[in-house]
Chains A and B, each alone.
Chain A
Amino acid sequence: MPRLSATSRHAVSFVLNGRSTTADAEPRMLLTDFLRHVLGLTGTHVGCEHGVCGACTIHIDGQPARACLTLAVQVDGASVRTIEDLAPEPGRLSVLQAAFRRHHALQCGFCTPGMLMSLDAYLAANPEPDEAELRKYLSGHLCRCTGYVPIVAAALDAAKRLREDTANA
Chain B
Amino acid sequence: MSVQSQAWTGRSIERVEDAALLTGLGRYIDDLGVPSGTLHAAILRSPHPHAKIEAVRAAAAAALPGVAAVITGDDIVRLTTSLPVGVRASIKCWPMAVDRVRYVGEPVAVVVAVDRYVAEDALDLIEVGYRLLAAIVDPRAALEPEAPRLHESLDSNIASERCFRYGDPEAAFAKAAHRIGIDVHYPRNSCTPLETYGVVASYSPGEDAYDILSGFQGPFSIHSVIARALKVPGNRLRLRTPPDSGGSFGIKQGVFPYLVLMGVASRVAGRPVKWVEDRLEHLTGSVSATNRATRIEAAVDADGRVRALAWDQIEDVGAHIRAPEPATLYRMHGNLTGAYDVRHVAVRNRVVVTNKTPTGLNRGFGGPQVYYALERLMQRIALELKLDPLEVIRRNLVPSKAFPYRTATGALLDSGNYQQALEVAARDGGLAELRARRDAARREGKLYGIGFAAVVEPSVSNMGYITTALTPEERAKAGPKNGAQATATISIDPLGTVSAHIASVPQGQGHRTVLAQVIADQLGLKPADIFVVAEMDTARDAWSIASGNYSSRFAAAVCGAAHIAAARLRAKLARIAAAQLNVSAEEIEFAGGKVQARGNPDNALAFARLAATSHWAPGALPSDVDQAFRETAFWTPPELTAPTESDEVNSSLCHGFIFDICGLEVDRVTGAVRIDKYVTMHDCGRVLHPGMVAGQITGGFAHALGAALYEEYAYAPDGSFLAGTFADYLVPTCMEVPAPLILHIETPSPFTPLGAKGVGEGNCMSTPVCVANAVADALGIADIDLPLTPAKLAATLQRVEPPPPPRAVAAALPAGKGRALHGAGEARVAAAPEAVWSALLDTRVLASIIPGCHDVEQVSATHFRADVTLGVGPVKGRYRAEVKLEDLVPPQSATLIGSAVGALGSAVGKGSVRLSGDDVGGTVISYEYDAEIGGKAAAVGGRLLDGAARIVIRQFFEALARRVAGTAAPAWRLWLDRLLARFRGRP
A147 touches B737 (CB 8 A): yes
B689-745 contacts to A (CB < 8 Å): 691-692, 694-695, 698-703, 725-727, 731, 733-735, 737, 739-740
Residues of B within 8 A of A123 (CB): none
Residues of B within 8 A of A138 (CB): 733-734
- In the assembled complex, B391 has its CB within 8 A of some CB on chain A: no
A53 touches B194 (CB 8 A): yes
In the assembled complex, the Cα of A101 lies from the Cα of B698 at a distance in Å of 16
Q: How far is the CB of B218 from chain A (nearest CB, A)?
A: 16
Q: Can you give 23 A-B contacts (C-beta < 8 A)?
A: A42-B26, A42-B31, A48-B279, A52-B726, A53-B194, A82-B24, A83-B24, A100-B22, A104-B691, A106-B18, A107-B508, A109-B26, A135-B734, A135-B735, A138-B734, A139-B733, A139-B735, A142-B731, A142-B733, A143-B702, A143-B734, A147-B700, A150-B695
In the assembled complex, the Cα of A100 lies from the Cα of B509 at a distance in Å of 15
Interface stretch among A69-77, A110-118, A159-167?
A110-118
- In the assembled complex, A136 has its CB within 8 A of some CB on chain B: yes
Known: A116-B22, A138-B734, A146-B699. A107 touches B191 (CB 8 A): no
- In the assembled complex, A148 has its CB within 8 A of some CB on chain B: yes
A108 touches B698 (CB 8 A): no
Q: How far is the CB of B679 from chain A (nearest CB, A)?
A: 14
- In the assembled complex, B12 has its CB within 8 A of some CB on chain A: yes
- In the assembled complex, B164 has its CB within 8 A of some CB on chain A: no
Mask, A38-80, CB within 8 Å of B = 1, is: 0001111111111011010000000000000000000000000
Residues of B within 8 A of A145 (CB): 247, 508, 695, 699
In the assembled complex, the Cα of A163 lies from the Cα of B356 at a distance in Å of 53
In the assembled complex, the Cα of A83 lies from the Cα of B22 at a distance in Å of 8
Q: How far is the CB of A59 from chain B (nearest CB, A)?
A: 13
In the assembled complex, the Cα of A111 lies from the Cα of B17 at a distance in Å of 15
B655-705 contacts to A (CB < 8 Å): 691-692, 694-695, 698-703
- In the assembled complex, A121 has its CB within 8 A of some CB on chain B: no
Known: A97-B23, A110-B246. A49 touches B278 (CB 8 A): yes
Residues of A within 8 A of B726 (CB): 48, 50, 52-53, 142
A107 touches B695 (CB 8 A): yes
Number of interface residues of A (CB under 8 A): 54
In the assembled complex, the Cα of A83 lies from the Cα of B280 at a distance in Å of 26
Residues of B within 8 A of A140 (CB): 733
- In the assembled complex, A141 has its CB within 8 A of some CB on chain B: yes
Interface residues on B, range: 35 or more
A149 touches B737 (CB 8 A): yes
Known: A102-B14, A148-B734. A44 touches B24 (CB 8 A): yes
- In the assembled complex, B30 has its CB within 8 A of some CB on chain A: yes
Residues of B within 8 A of A101 (CB): 14-15, 18-19, 22
- In the assembled complex, A152 has its CB within 8 A of some CB on chain B: yes
Residues of B within 8 A of A111 (CB): 194
Q: How far is the CB of B736 from chain A (nearest CB, A)?
A: 8
B104-120 contacts to A (CB < 8 Å): 117
Q: How far is the CB of B868 from chain A (nearest CB, A)?
A: 25
- In the assembled complex, B28 has its CB within 8 A of some CB on chain A: yes
Residues of A within 8 A of B244 (CB): 108-109
In the assembled complex, the Cα of A45 lies from the Cα of B726 at a distance in Å of 16
Residues of A within 8 A of B194 (CB): 45, 47, 53, 55, 108, 110-111, 142-144
- In the assembled complex, B882 has its CB within 8 A of some CB on chain A: no
- In the assembled complex, A26 has its CB within 8 A of some CB on chain B: yes
In the assembled complex, the Cα of A107 lies from the Cα of B553 at a distance in Å of 17
Mask, B225-262, CB within 8 Å of A = 1, is: 00000000000000000001111010000000000000
In the assembled complex, the Cα of A27 lies from the Cα of B339 at a distance in Å of 60
A52 touches B117 (CB 8 A): no
Chain B CB within 10 A, most for which of A46, A100, A147: A147
Q: Which residue of A lies closest to B19 (CB)?
A: A93
- In the assembled complex, B510 has its CB within 8 A of some CB on chain A: yes
Residues of B within 8 A of A28 (CB): 117
B18 touches A100 (CB 8 A): yes
A144 touches B22 (CB 8 A): no
- In the assembled complex, B195 has its CB within 8 A of some CB on chain A: yes
- In the assembled complex, B944 has its CB within 8 A of some CB on chain A: no
- In the assembled complex, B613 has its CB within 8 A of some CB on chain A: no
Mask, B498-509, CB within 8 Å of A = 1, is: 000000000111
The 7 closest A-B pairs by CB, nearest first: A43-B24, A108-B508, A109-B21, A110-B246, A147-B698, A83-B24, A147-B702
A106 touches B21 (CB 8 A): yes
Mask, B180-197, CB within 8 Å of A = 1, is: 000000000001111110
In the assembled complex, the Cα of A134 lies from the Cα of B176 at a distance in Å of 55
Q: How far is the CB of B771 from chain A (nearest CB, A)?
A: 15
A93 touches B278 (CB 8 A): no
Q: Which residue of B lies closest to A28 (CB)?
A: B117
Q: How far is the CB of B354 from chain A (nearest CB, A)?
A: 27
- In the assembled complex, B25 has its CB within 8 A of some CB on chain A: yes
Residues of A within 8 A of B26 (CB): 42-43, 109-110
In the assembled complex, the Cα of A68 lies from the Cα of B191 at a distance in Å of 22
B727 touches A50 (CB 8 A): yes
Residues of B within 8 A of A156 (CB): none
A106 touches B22 (CB 8 A): yes
In the assembled complex, the Cα of A51 lies from the Cα of B741 at a distance in Å of 32
- In the assembled complex, A128 has its CB within 8 A of some CB on chain B: no
In the assembled complex, the Cα of A76 lies from the Cα of B12 at a distance in Å of 45
A107 touches B510 (CB 8 A): yes
In the assembled complex, the Cα of A152 lies from the Cα of B736 at a distance in Å of 13
Residues of A within 8 A of B117 (CB): 26, 28-29
B703 touches A47 (CB 8 A): no
Residues of B within 8 A of A45 (CB): 28, 194-195, 246
- In the assembled complex, A31 has its CB within 8 A of some CB on chain B: no
Chain A CB within 10 A, most for which of B31, B191, B734: B734
Q: Which residue of A lies closest to B726 (CB)?
A: A52
Chain B CB within 10 A, most for which of A83, A86, A143, A149: A149
- In the assembled complex, A4 has its CB within 8 A of some CB on chain B: no
In the assembled complex, the Cα of A47 lies from the Cα of B699 at a distance in Å of 18
In the assembled complex, the Cα of A8 lies from the Cα of B691 at a distance in Å of 51
B1-23 contacts to A (CB < 8 Å): 12, 14-15, 17-19, 21-23
In the assembled complex, the Cα of A146 lies from the Cα of B17 at a distance in Å of 15
Q: How far is the CB of B450 from chain A (nearest CB, A)?
A: 22
A50 touches B22 (CB 8 A): no
A144 touches B731 (CB 8 A): yes
Sample of 16 more A-B contacts, CB < 8 Å, known A87-B22, A106-B18:
A42-B30, A45-B28, A50-B725, A82-B24, A93-B23, A102-B14, A104-B15, A107-B695, A107-B699, A108-B244, A113-B24, A135-B734, A139-B733, A146-B698, A150-B695, A150-B698
